[in-house]
Structure formats: C-alpha cells, structure tokens
Amino acid sequence: MKICVLVKEVPDAAVEKRIDPSTGRMDRGGEKNLNPYDTHAIEAAMQIKEGGTVPVEEIVAVTMGPDSAVRALHKAVSLGADRSVHLSDPAVAGSDVAATGYALAKTLERESPDLVLLGQQSDDGECYTIGAVVAEHLGMPSLTQVIKMDVEAEGGGGVGSGSLRCERQAEYGYDTVQIKLPAVISVGDAINEPRYPSLKAIMGAKKKPLDTVTAGDVQIDPAKVGGDNSAAQWVAAKAPPAKAAGMIIEDEDTGETVEKIVAWLDERKLI
Amino acid sequence: MSSHSGSSNGRVIPAAYPPPVDSQKEFVKRGLDGEDELIEVGVAIVGGGTAGLACANRLLQLLAEDPEMMERLGEVPVAVIEKAKTCGGHNLSGAVMRPEPLRELFGELSREDWRKEGFAFGEVTKESVYILPGAKTKLRIPPPPPQHNKGNEVVSVSALARYQQRVAEEAGAYILTETAATQLIVEDGRVVGVRSGDKGRGKDGEPLSNFEPGTDIKAQATVLAEGCWGHITGAAIREFDLAKDREPQVWELGVKEVWKVKRPLDRVIHTLAGWPLKISASYGQIGGSWMYPMKDEKTGDDLVSIGFIIDLDYADATTSAHDLLQEIKTHPLFRDVLEGGERVAWGAKALPAGGYWSMPKLSMPGAVLVGDAAGIMNLASLKGVHYAIKSGMLAAESIYAALKRGESSFENYEQVVEDSIIGKDMWEQRNTRQPFQKGLIRGGPLVNLMIATKGRFPGGRWALHRNDSKPMFIGKTKDSYPKPDGKYTFDKLSSVFISGNATRDDAPNHIRVRKHVPRELAETWRWMCPAGVYEIPEDGEGGDESGDVDVIVNYTNCVQCGAITAKGGRLTVPEGGDGPLYQIT
Amino acid sequence: MANILVYALHYDGAINKNSLGAVSEGAKLAAELGGEAHAILLGDNVPHDLAASLGNYGASKVLVAEGPEGLAQPLVDAMAAAIQGGGYSYALFGGGLLGFEIGAGLAARLGAGVVMEVTAVRAENGELIAERPILGDSAISEIKYRSQVGIIIGRLNAFEIRESGGGDAPVEQLSFELSSQAQQATMLTRGEQRGADVDIEGADILVAGGRGLGKAEGFQLAEDLAAAFGGNSAVAATRAVVDAGWYPYAAQIGQTGKTVAPKLYLAAGISGAIQHKVGMQASENIVAINKDANAPIFEFSDLGIVGDLNKILPKLTEAVKAKKGA
C-alpha cells in the first residue's frame, strides 16, 4: 500500500497574527510550523505501517507552499515519512481552499496513492475539510473527522477487502463507515497521540529524497489556481461589531437577583 | 551562617530551604551510550542565543576556508542545541548594543542591512538619564560615562538570534530546536558531549504513550552558551570546581514590554534608582528602568522598548519587577510616550551581575563557557550583547585552533578573553556591584568612585554575598502597585499569554522548590516571579502572619527567566519546545 | 432569478437545528434577492411530513432524494444535479461536519467559490456577500463570489431559526445518479451515542466552573444548574480547576483546552483571565457570577452578577426548573 500524507505549514499558534491591509489575507510572516493536525495524520500512517495488517511500501509527505514549506516536509519525514514532494510555484500562491485542493489533487495523481491522509483542519483556521475537495478531484471516497481507523486486508475476513473501517465523530453521535480504497481520510486530533521524533530522525530528515515540482510538472491549469483566480473574492475587512456594555447586578436580595436573571434569560429565549 | 530554622531576627533566609536537587548526580552523565545509539557531531553548542550562534557563525566562517578541517569534524561539523521552538524564542534583552563585535562577525553587513533584516531598530543619537524622586517628578542627570550610548544600536536579541540561525543553517550548521540539553556527559574527567532531554513524560515524570528518550550527543568540543543560569553550566561549574576562589554569582531580574506608539521617541532614556524603588538599606532595592526607541523598517511602525531591572538582593518579599514596571509606567516620563499606544510584547529574563570576581573559570577539559552563562556582563552599563558575540567568536577561534593542532585543551580561550575588551572592561568594573549590597545610599558613592577611576580606587577585591542568603521579610512595596486595567497596566497572566507561552498541560514540572515553606519565602517567590508561577492557597491571607504555608507551582506559566534559582529554588530545563516564543524582545 | 438551495440534515426523525437556521436564513436572503429558497433532504425513504415541515421555516419547495443517510458524497451528487438543473445561484449550509464536507465537495464539483465559517450574509446589488471572522474573531472578512454559484457554509449556530408561518411546502422527488466515489462508502452504524463523553463543543448551554467554586464538590452546583436547563447543556471547567483535579480535562475550556461558542455561557467563580477568555469569547450570551467586582470577566460578560455563587446557584437552579416546568 502506498500512503500519501498531505501536510501544511502554518503560522505558529503562539505568534501574533495580522492582516495584510492590502490583500485582506493573513500576513504569513513569522514562525511557521507543521500544522499540528497533520502530525496526527502522519502518526496514523505510521501506525498502519507498523500494524502489519497490510504491507506499506512507502509513506510520502506532500505539501504545497513557498520555499519555507520544506520545513514542514522535514518534520513529516522525521516523524516517519519515507520521502516528500513539494509543489512550489508562484502560480499557485494565494489559492483559496478550493484551488489548493485542486492543486494538491493533481500532485497526488502523479503518485497514485492507495490512501491519502490529512489533518482535519489547519491551525490557521483557513482550510476546513480540504480533504473533501481533494477527494472530489481524485474521484475517491472521502470521510472527515475520523477518530479510529482499521485497515482490512485484501481477501481477509471481516467487512471487505482493500477497505477501511472508520469511526468518525459527527455532531449527533459516532458513525461507523466502511470505505473502499483508494480513499481520502481526514483525521481528527482524537485519533492518536503523535510520537516525538528522535534526534537521529530529525537530523537524518534532510537526507531523505525531496522532489520539488512546479504546476506544469503536475498538469495544473493555471486558470484554476492562484489568488487572482479565486472564485470567492475578499473585498474588505472590518472590525467585529462592538459588544454593547453588559449589565451588572450586585446581589443583595438573592431571591430578587435570581428573578432578574431568569427574566434576562427569558427575554433572550435561553430558558 | 544561617540558623537551622532559617530565620534571622524573625526574617527568613531562602538558602536555608534548598530545593530538592543534586546537581552532580542528576545532571552529569558518566560515560557515553553505545555507538549505535548516540549521535556524533564536531562541535556541540548548547544554546542558540546570541553567544552560541555567534560561535557557530564564526566557526563556520573558519571552516568554509578549511575544507580539510570541516571533513575532520564529521558529517555534522557544528550542531546548535536550542530548547525553544526557534532560536530567539527564549531570548530577551533591552537592548542598546555596541556595534563593533557584530560588525566584526558579519563584515559584509552594514547597519542599514541590520535594520532591513529586522533585528536592528536605529542608531542612538540622543540620550537622557533621570532619577525620579517621586511619582510625578523627574531629575535629569548627566549620563555616567559607561552609559554613553551615542552611536550604539537598538536591537532585539530575539530577532537577531533568528537572523543568526538562518546564516548558520545556510553555512551548514544543524540547528536542533525544541531540543533541551539535560545532562553533561563526562568520561575520564573530560566533557565528551551532552544528552538531549526526553519527550513525552507526564505530570509526575511518568512516560506517556508517545515517550521518546533523549539521545547522547558526542562532540569533540562542547560550548556552553545557555545564557543566564545555564542548567548544564551550573552542573559543570560544580563538577569541575570552576567557581573555586571566586565570589558567588548574583543576579538581576528584568521585565520588558514592547509598545507600538503614536509618535516616535527621539532618544534613549534610562532611570537609575529613585521612585518607585525603596532604596533604604532595610529594603535594599537597587535597580532602574529603560525606554528605547525602535523603528521597525519592515512595517514602518514606531515601537518603544521599555523595561525595569531589579537587583535580586532585595529584602522585601513583595518586591515584584513586573509590578514595578507597571508602576513606573504611570509616571509622566513614560506615560507621555506610551499613552494611546498598544502593548505588543512582554517578557522577563535574569542576568548575571557579579562581574569580574564572580566569573567562573571559562574552560574545562572538553568545553568552554560563553556569554551570560560565563557571567560576562558590563555591570556599569548592564550591556552583555556585544560581549556575548565577542566571546562566541573567541571561543570559535580557540576551539578551531586547538582542534587543528590536535590539542585537547581549550584553556587558551581563557587568556584570549582576558586580553580582549571583555577582560579589560570587566576588570575595570570589578568592584562596582559589591557596594550596592550595602544599599544604594552607602554604596552609591563608592560605585561612582570606582567607575570614575576606572576601577583603580578603591581597588582590591570586594566580597559578594549570595542573593539567597539575604533575610526576607514581608514589607510594603506591594502597597503601591497599580491595579492592572488591562489596557495600560497588565496583570501577569495576560502578560504570559502574549509571550506566546503554550506549554502542554500535562508536561512534567521542571521547577524544583520546596512545597511547604515559611510564608516570607513563599511570598518572595510569588511576588518575584513575573509569570505568576507561585501561588499561596487562599485560606486566610492575614497581615504579617508567620508560619509555614503550601506553595502551588503553576509551572506551565513559566517563561524560564531564571530568577527562582537565585532565591531558593532551581530552574531545570523543561521539555524542548515549551516556554515562550519571544519575537521582538 | 437567484434561488438558494439549502441543505437540511435530518437525524432520528428530526431536522437538525443548524439546518433549520440555514433554511430560515436562506428564505430571508432569497426574499431579498427576489428568488426562492428550496431545501434538500437525502435519505432512505425520507418521510413526506418531515420534508414538508420545512415550509414553516420559509422553504418554498423541498427536494427529496433517495440515498444513504449520513454520508456527504451522495449529497454532493444530489445537490450538483439540482444546481446543474438550473436556477440556483447559491448553496447554503448551516455548519456542522456534514455541512462542511458536502459544501467543500460541491465547491470542487462545480468549480464554485466557497466561504467557510460564515457568521453573517447580506444581499447587495442582487448578490450575496458573506462575512467570516478571522484572527481569532478579532476581525471580519467580507467575501464576494465570482463564480456562477456561490457556496456558503455557516459557523455552528450562526443562523437564527425563524418560523415564517408559511405552512407545509410542496415536496418534489429529485432523481440523480450516484457518482462512483459515492458508492465506495457504506454506513454501518449511524449516530451511536456514547454517554460517557462530555461533548462541550456541541452544547447550546454551558455552565462553567472555576476556582471560585471553592472545592471539587462545588461542581455539584454547576451540574445541578446544567441539568435544570436540560436539553443540550453541559458543564465546563477552567484549566486551574482541571489541574487541581476537580473536573476532567475533557471539559476544559481555554487556550490549551477546547474552544466553544454556545448560545449561553454561564461562568461561575471564573475570573476571566485571557487564557480562558479566548476559549469562550465567541459565546452568544455570557453570564458571569463572581464575588469579586473587579474580576476581568465582568468586562466582557453580557450579564454580570457580583455575589456569592453558593447562594445564587442553588436558587437559580430552582427558578430555572420552575420556569421550565411551568
């Protein structure tokens, strides 16, 4: 089985973020790190490999981003990926979630993975469920917020062959879904506890093969990507509505205070 | 020295309550792991701050001209081990830096280049020094000679370290961030490397499901550049008796904020002693503040760096550098500059203030000390950045020369430092701290005399006493702290928040203190710590009650300033990656 | 004419609240654009009455499609078929997992613009502009669509439910083809309830306790109040009390815990330090009870009560029970 893990570098959560006033996009200066959700995806890939139910020939980390994105790839490799692919091209800069999903799908096509894993969302709050976009372009089944995943071997008993049995957290409860491979699975952070890379792995990461590709290399139609081609266009940024000052009650007669609270809640249909 | 009950005339001496730590047993590893398990590097530099990176930068410059030597140092010629998420993440300083050593290190860069790279913020053209007699008054005094800053550059060591890291990486260094160095590895009386910290331990130190043990890093030469209160440095000093015949080291604590302001400040400002410090001998508060203009070339913003420093030799347990900073901000001198602006950064750090006589021996078999870890600091002006760079460069040159000659001793480094501006300056100021331990009023004139005569009079060697030997009492300093309003003055927790500290909740406790101590000591820690780590449970907060109390240690707030080690506790290294993420301090 | 197609999630014989909000919002926006809002339901024999009931929230028509429930890709197929049939300029989702999954897949299928985590939408010059918060809710971005179809995915609880009094809507069968990828997934068990878990992120009402509760047993007061509110209510906790072992980590809110945005956040004995604030500041209504008049939480609460929670909480619990019982 070949597993591709989509990873993204995101600004460190602790860094103060700003908007670039001219583009309305987040100013991506400052520290960047591998998206914490993606570490769960890499860990999931490693657990499948180490689990032994199916042989995993290789785990490939894939990312789209500027030059600095190689750090995310190094981190992914130090956590266990065998090699990485970096889609780097000015044409894709500024792509929104739909365009990014398309570009990644084209990059993945070249790899012909049996399973694509990624984190549920990115820490910068920009991309939710990009897995669904990628799956659509690849024509693969997709499931998000997966918190448990078991691989069923080809021809082995159980549910089917060449498939996954997944549990996912939906808003109304837990679903158990069987999905045939190849598939795109977005994992939630509850799925596992990512390992820490050993120093040896960290230092060896730069030696593992890293393939840099351009949009042309993977047949990306430039009209479908890039900030200027976004189908959803940012027009302005504004401050959120100022909250009206709150009311304060000093409790003297608790009975009375409670009546006031209940009335307040009732007004707002909270009871 | 101190009585068993740890008190002296009803006051409590922190040193009588030593933390549960055995430095040599815990932090020195005897012998290396097997070849298969360890990592081998040429030169291991512990600490990716100004000094450590200057050492890496200089070393790689030398190696670039000497491929044969590069080859001899192996696959990883230079490795920098840094516990923060990135170099600069744990670095903080004022700072008005003397430019020469950095110009020496990066000859091709102009000062304009520094500002474009984002770590320098303008040359000092004007300066003023004040004493503040009261909350609304100020008295201008001529800048004492060591404080002449014209021509110096306002920098951020946090941003500078990031720049140095990039340069080092491009030149071939392996920068291992999020990696703590927890043990010194000694074999046959020689430092042969350091061991990196474990990851994935829980609150009580138990291995969690993703536990990853540390690794031995074997090195031909080790440079300890851990900064103020280096963890391994402390162990090394004990192991090799490097503090023999020296005065004890003493510390100061600085708390800093960076503000975005509406109008640019036109000068560098310092205040010495005065309000809001209580300078009487019984309170023993020595310190001052600063306010420096910063022009951010990248964004065009006008920023200001402000901070308050206090000598940790004070006696009132309620002395709090963070709150004194908030208090001094209410003075018109500061308010006129900051009003209408926005706080964009906060941080805290301790610095070594013992001077020449407190410096340990700077080399041991297999290793050397650089920067703040070596106690290198200009006491009169509290400048250390340029020395850190210089000592890093000198260490690189000494190690390079020794390894090239096949020599195993780096002792030559000590003489080189002594002969450099570091040695000269520190010798001149060698007794400028000690008189302050008698209080500002008695000590002040003596200090001035020594500065004026460049150390010649009075000469000799004056003794220092340890910060934790000072008897503590619960006094009144806290009564004048302003109540934080969240817009101009701030509480500790929201300050820790903007330092970028996001340590995981189930991390193990890296702070060693006794949990049940006299109230005076617990209050000392509670007020001193700028990050609000130490709390006393809320039952019965009465006036001057004595008696022992419990101490709650919220170690995940810790920004690793190091102050606790000076006053009765011991800071050890948390898991790599934990702690603040300073950017512009 | 700009029509809006609104996705409605149904589970266990009822329409999900977020979907009701989306239908209401869709109806309001469609009216402003001079068009109609149609809802779409997909399932195994969707009951006619259930579908028709969406008329009460403003849907002019309800499309019903036959297919496996609880999976996103069949809905991408169904909605794409409806939209490609003509007449729809926007697809609207009320947030929640499936909303995001379907919306994202649909954006890819149609080459349409998509905005996620939308908190407000307005009509301007015959088109819709979506607003979404960014940078931890400290600013709002306004986004316009350039594509033929615009996809709007709301944040959880963002759209208000409004009954239009419109009566039942006509129900129409939608025929469509399942794509190959939609046929590769099989729902084995849907919506398993696991009682032990504390799902504070999905709760409508959170009663949160902090140090002011005094001791672990103090959480009984919070639990009683949450139980009195009933429905989708839960108890949450600050980091300090979780650290002290008074309540489990799963209930922790704040910088290193969970982030929530319930309709009502009632904070008892919580000071409101920023590390906690960032986890709950987007709550619609914030009520705080604290004995310290200077607690920071009073600066951003909608209703603040300065008093002893040990006296107030039990009385409030009784009053809420009475009100609900009445």
Is residue C26 located within the same domain as residue C171?
Answer: yes
The confidence score (pLDDT) of residue B505 equals 76
Burial state string for C246-278 with b = 16 or more CB within 10 A and e = fewer than 16? bbeeebbbbbbbbbbbbbbbbbbbbbbbbbbbb
- Give the closest residue to A243 by CA, choosing from C153, C302, B541: C302
Instruction: Give the residue from chain A lying closest to B200, CA to CA.
Output: A196
Q: Which of C132, C156, C184 is at the close of a domain?
A: C184
Q: Encoding tokens for residue B532?
A: 């609000």
For residue A3, give Cα distances in angstroms to A70, A220, B469: 19, 22, 61
E-assigned strand segments in B188-322: 190-196, 199-201, 207-212, 216-224, 251-260, 268-272, 287-295, 302-311
The confidence score (pLDDT) of residue B351 equals 93
Q: Does residue C319 form part of some domain? A: yes
CATH number at residue A197: 3.40.50.620
Q: Does residue C194 form part of some domain? A: no
Q: What is the mean pLDDT of residues A240-264?
A: 88
ipTM associated with this complex: 0.88
For residue B133, give Cα distances in angstroms to B142, B447, C165, C207: 16, 20, 74, 51
- Contact between chains at C308 and A265 (C-beta distance less than 8 A): no
pLDDT in tens, B294-323: 999 888 999 999 999 999 999 999 999 999
Is residue C165 located within the same domain as residue C30?
Answer: yes
pLDDT in tens, C216-267: 999 999 999 999 998 889 999 998 888 888 998 889 888 777 778 888 999 9
pLDDT in tens, B162-186: 999 999 999 999 999 999 999 999 9
The confidence score (pLDDT) of residue A18 equals 65
CATH number at residue C225: 3.40.50.1220
The confidence score (pLDDT) of residue C197 equals 56
Asked if residue A101 lies in contact with residue A137, where contact means CB atoms within 8 angstroms, the answer is: yes
The confidence score (pLDDT) of residue A238 equals 84
The confidence score (pLDDT) of residue C326 equals 62
- Option in A31, A196, A200 nearest B581 (CB): A31
pLDDT in tens, A114-169: 999 999 887 766 667 899 999 999 999 999 989 999 998 765 444 345 899 999 98
Q: What is the mean pLDDT of residues A51-57?
A: 91
Q: Does residue C191 form part of some domain? A: no
pLDDT in tens, B100-140: 999 999 999 999 999 999 999 999 999 999 999 999 999 99
The CA distance from B499 to the nearest CA of chain C, in Å, is 12
**SS3 (DSSP) at B345:** strand
Q: Is the pLDDT of residue C37 over 60?
A: yes
Query: Could you list the residue range(s) of the whole structural domain that residue A177 is in?
Result: 2-229
Q: Encoding tokens for residue C23?
A: 């239908």
Q: How confident is the model at residue B48 (pLDDT cuts 50, 70, 90)?
A: very high
Contacts of B508 in chain C (CB under 8 A): none
Question: Can you tell me the distance from the alpha carbon of C145 to that of C91, in angstroms, rounded to the nearest whole number?
Answer: 12
Q: Is the pLDDT of residue B381 over 60?
A: yes
Is residue C248 located within the same domain as residue C288?
Answer: yes
Residue spans of the domains in chain B: they are 27-119+156-197+204-250+353-430
Is residue C112 located within the same domain as residue C29?
Answer: yes
Residue with tokens 């690793």: B560
A199, A200, A207: which to substitute to probe chain B, counting the most B Cβ within 10 Å?
Answer: A199
Q: Does residue C192 form part of some domain? A: no
The confidence score (pLDDT) of residue C237 equals 94
The confidence score (pLDDT) of residue B458 equals 67
The confidence score (pLDDT) of residue A154 equals 65
Q: Does residue C189 form part of some domain? A: no
Burial of C160 (0-12, 13-18, 19+ CB in 10 A): exposed
Contacts of C256 in chain B (CB under 8 A): 502, 504-505
Query: Distance from CA of residue B580 to its chain's centroid?
Result: 14
- Contact between chains at B505 and C296 (C-beta distance less than 8 A): no
Question: Can you tell me the distance from the alpha carbon of B13 to that of A27, in angstroms, rounded to the nearest whole number?
Answer: 51
Domain count of chain C? 2
Total Cβ atoms within 10 A of residue B179: 27
Q: How confident is the model at residue B423 (pLDDT cuts 50, 70, 90)?
A: very high
Q: Encoding tokens for residue A233?
A: 């266009």
**How many helices and strands, by DSSP H and E, does chain A display?**
6, 13
Domain count of chain A? 1
Average pLDDT of chain B?
Answer: 91
Question: Can you tell me the distance from the alpha carbon of B166 to that of B424, in angstroms, rounded to the nearest whole number?
Answer: 32
Amino acid symbol at C318: E
- Contact between chains at A199 and B208 (C-beta distance less than 8 A): no
Q: What is the mean pLDDT of residues B395-422?
A: 95
Q: Does residue A142 form part of some domain? A: yes
Question: Who has greater pLDDT, B422 or A16?
Answer: B422
Cβ partners under 8 Å of residue C79, min gap 6: C5, C7, C40, C91, C102, C106
The confidence score (pLDDT) of residue B2 equals 38
Q: Does residue A23 form part of some domain? A: yes
pLDDT in tens, C287-312: 999 998 888 899 889 999 999 999 99
Asked if residue B520 lies in contact with residue B473, where contact means CB atoms within 8 angstroms, the answer is: yes
**SS3 (DSSP) at C107:** helix
Question: Who has greater pLDDT, B187 or C259?
Answer: B187
Interface partners of chain A (CB pairs < 8 Å, 3 or more) are B, C
Q: What is the mean pLDDT of residues B547-576?
A: 92
pLDDT in tens, C96-154: 889 999 999 999 999 999 999 899 999 999 999 999 987 767 788 899 999 999 999 99
**SS3 (DSSP) at C193:** coil
Q: Which of C184, C208, C239 is at the close of a domain?
A: C184
DSSP C231: S
Q: What is the mean pLDDT of residues A19-35?
A: 68
The CATH number of the domain covering residues in B27-119+156-197+204-250+353-430: 3.50.50.60
Question: Can you tell me the distance from the alpha carbon of A207 to that of A198, in angstroms, rounded to the nearest whole number?
Answer: 15
Q: What is the mean pLDDT of residues B55-64?
A: 97
Q: Does residue C251 form part of some domain? A: yes
Question: Can you tell me the distance from the alpha carbon of B312 to that of C282, in angstroms, rounded to the nearest whole number?
Answer: 42
Question: Can you tell me the distance from the alpha carbon of B270 to that of B289, in angstroms, rounded to the nearest whole number?
Answer: 6
Is residue C173 located within the same domain as residue C205?
Answer: no
Q: Does residue A36 form part of some domain? A: yes
- Contact between chains at A193 and B208 (C-beta distance less than 8 A): yes
Q: Does residue C193 form part of some domain? A: no
Q: Encoding tokens for residue B565?
A: 């080690």
- Contact between chains at C117 and A128 (C-beta distance less than 8 A): yes
Q: How confident is the model at residue A25 (pLDDT cuts 50, 70, 90)?
A: low
Query: Could you list the residue range(s) of the whole structural domain that residue C211 is in?
Result: 200-325
Contacts of C255 in chain B (CB under 8 A): 497, 502
Amino acid symbol at B481: Y
Q: How confident is the model at residue C278 (pLDDT cuts 50, 70, 90)?
A: confident
The confidence score (pLDDT) of residue C198 equals 58
pLDDT in tens, A198-240: 999 999 998 999 999 999 999 999 999 998 888 888 888 888 7
Give the largest CA-CA distance in chain C. Answer: 63
